[in-house]
Amino acid sequence: MSQASDNPLRIVPRLDASESLQQLASELAVEGIASPRPRSRPAWVEQFTAIIRTRPCASNQSNDYPDARYYVDRAIPQDGSLSSGPLAPQVDTLPGVEQCLTATNLAELAGNTHLLSPGTVVQVFALYPRSGSKQFVFNQPTPDTAVVEITGAAAGGGKYNGRLVTGVSGAAASGNLAMPEGMSVAGTDNALVLNEEEDQESGHRLAIGAYAVGRIVGTSAGLTIVMIRGAPGSTSGPTTLAGSGVSADSTSWSRVSNGTPVTASIQTRTLWDSVGGVLYAYLRNFTFDARGVLVSISGEAQVTVDIPTECE
């Protein structure tokens, strides 16, 4: 490259065509047909491992991106990692190197979704435009389904706190199922579980500690949102339907309005004891969970209905 100037105080870069052609010729020159093309310098690509953040980079921001963009931290292998061991990344905190930035997930770009959980490890690449600022991208397929443990009731009806179940199960065909069957349950709540069965209903009908399989539909405030359709229902604090006295009992129950388990006494048969001269009724207690699913039926209870006496 050479330089030209019509002002002694100003130097203006100028493209030297002959020098550029000479440089190009040197890159294309080969010693033989099968010889590799020599280059003046190796190609260079900016890439690094990163970890998806729970919250935005700036302390004065509270909302995460609603689309395929994510806040990520640059990461490095943990101290003491072995070259033969699995990657165990940690956020890079070295001053001057640490960085929180925005990266777009190419796998979610078309659908404009935001389904990856905080803590997910990704490999980020930098893209350089012809003008403007470079952008960072990664290509991480999103999980379609998830297993969750329901740990408590959230503020809204039909919404629950939960913990994602991850890892590989070592379950055997023998023995009764005992979740999580070798998989790992998160140590703290990291999921918001939406029970589609309870749409537009107040209250909570699912049993705490139950497991469910659902579909990941988004993230909110650092939580993975999992949509499910039912799980084992709660059996705690049932409503009891058992009238007494002459008047009819007006107590009723509805899965929608009550949202509790229910126990009802139902007469299953009537018997006249010709030997003892007594009319008996037999009752069983039917217990339904808060979802309205039958849970148990008790043994019969005998009730004396009538003991006739001879007319004088």
Write out the chain's pLDDT in tens, 312 residues.
Answer: 444 445 444 544 544 444 454 455 445 545 555 555 555 444 567 899 999 998 899 888 878 898 999 999 999 999 888 889 999 999 999 998 899 999 999 999 998 889 898 899 999 999 988 888 899 999 999 888 999 999 999 999 999 999 999 999 999 999 999 999 999 999 999 999 999 999 999 999 999 999 999 999 988 888 999 999 999 999 999 999 987 888 888 889 999 988 899 999 999 999 999 999 999 999 999 999 999 999 999 999 999 999 888 776
Domain presence at residue 158: yes
CA dihedral angle for residue 299, residue 302, residue 303, residue 308, rounded to 10 degrees: 160
| Separation of alpha carbons 29 and 158, rounded Å | 71
Does residue 186 sit in the same domain as residue 219? yes
Does residue 131 sit in the same domain as residue 73? yes
| Separation of alpha carbons 199 and 211, rounded Å | 19
Domain presence at residue 312: no
> Which ranges in 46-164 belong to alpha helices (H)?
none
| Separation of alpha carbons 253 and 262, rounded Å | 7
Does residue 203 sit in the same domain as residue 224? yes
Domain presence at residue 36: no
| Separation of alpha carbons 97 and 122, rounded Å | 18
Give the number of C-alpha atoms closer than 13 A to the C-alpha of residue 184, restricted to the C-beta side. Answer: 6
261 token code pair: 């388990």
Does residue 215 sit in the same domain as residue 186? yes
DSSP of 29-55, one letter per residue? Answer: --SSTTSPPP-SS-----EEEEEE-SS
Does residue 89 sit in the same domain as residue 128? yes
Q: Is 8 helix (H, G, I), strand (E, B) or coil?
A: coil
pLDDT of residue 34: 59
Does residue 244 sit in the same domain as residue 212? no
Domain presence at residue 251: yes
| Separation of alpha carbons 53 and 123, rounded Å | 14
Does residue 99 sit in the same domain as residue 133? yes
- Which domain, by its residues, includes 298? 239-306
Domain presence at residue 68: yes
pTM strictly above 0.85: no
Q: Per the structure, how many domains does the chain have?
A: 3
pLDDT of residue 131: 83
Does residue 150 sit in the same domain as residue 128? no
Domain presence at residue 263: yes
Does residue 53 sit in the same domain as residue 131? yes
Residue at 53: amino acid letter? R
pLDDT of residue 31: 54
Token look-up 């699912």 returns: 206
245 token code pair: 């006295």
Does residue 218 sit in the same domain as residue 296? no
Residue at 287: amino acid letter? T
Domain presence at residue 33: no
Does residue 127 sit in the same domain as residue 164? no
Does residue 53 sit in the same domain as residue 77? yes
Domain presence at residue 292: yes
| Separation of alpha carbons 303 and 69, rounded Å | 68
